[in-house]
Amino acid sequence: MKDRILYAMASDLGIDRFENESEMRYCSRVLYSAMASWVKAAALDRPVTSIQRVVQGVSRRHIFDKCTSVLNEMLKRYPESRSWFEMEPEIGSPIGVLQGRLIRHGDLLQVGFGTNLILAGSSQMPLSGNVECRKGEILLQDTYYSGIAMLQKTQESIIFKPEPVTDVTGWFKDFVHFAWWKTEGMDKDVQYFNAYKKSKNNHSCWQSERPKPVEGIWFARRNICQNGYEYYLLRQDEYLYEHRVDPFLQKVSEHRRFMLAMRHMAGNDVPIEVYHYVDHVFVKLRIHLPQKENSLLETYAWPHNSIMDKLEWDMGELVWEFVKPHLCGLGIKLIEERTGHG
pLDDT of 283 higher than 70: yes
The residues pairing with 77 across neighbouring beta strands, listed in sequence order, are: none
Question: Strand, helix or coil at 284?
Answer: strand
Model pTM greater than 0.85? yes
* Chain center to CA of 339: 25
Domain ranges (residues) in the chain: 2-120, 168-265, 271-340
Give Cβ neighbours of residue 172 (< 8 Å, ≥ 6 apart): 257, 258, 261, 262, 265
Q: What is residue 123's three-state secondary structure?
A: strand
Q: Looking at per-residue confidence, does 341 or 300 come out higher?
A: 300
Task: Give me the pLDDT at residue 340, please.
Answer: 66
Q: Is the pLDDT of residue 21 over 80?
A: yes
Give per-residue pLDDT as tens, 110-125: 998 888 999 999 999 9
pLDDT digits (tens, 9 = 90+) for 23-56: 999 999 999 999 999 999 999 998 665 444 566 8
Domain 271-340 -> CATH class: alpha beta
pLDDT higher than threshold 60 for residue 231: yes
For the chain, give the number of residues: 342
Q: What is the pLDDT of residues 48-91, one digit of tens each?
A: 654 445 668 899 999 999 999 999 999 999 999 999 999 988 88
pLDDT band at 224 (very low <50, low <70, confident <90, very high): confident
C-beta atoms surrounding 248 within 10 Å: 8
Q: Give helix then strand counts, H and E, for the chain.
A: 10, 18
Q: What percent of the chain has pLDDT over 90?
A: 80
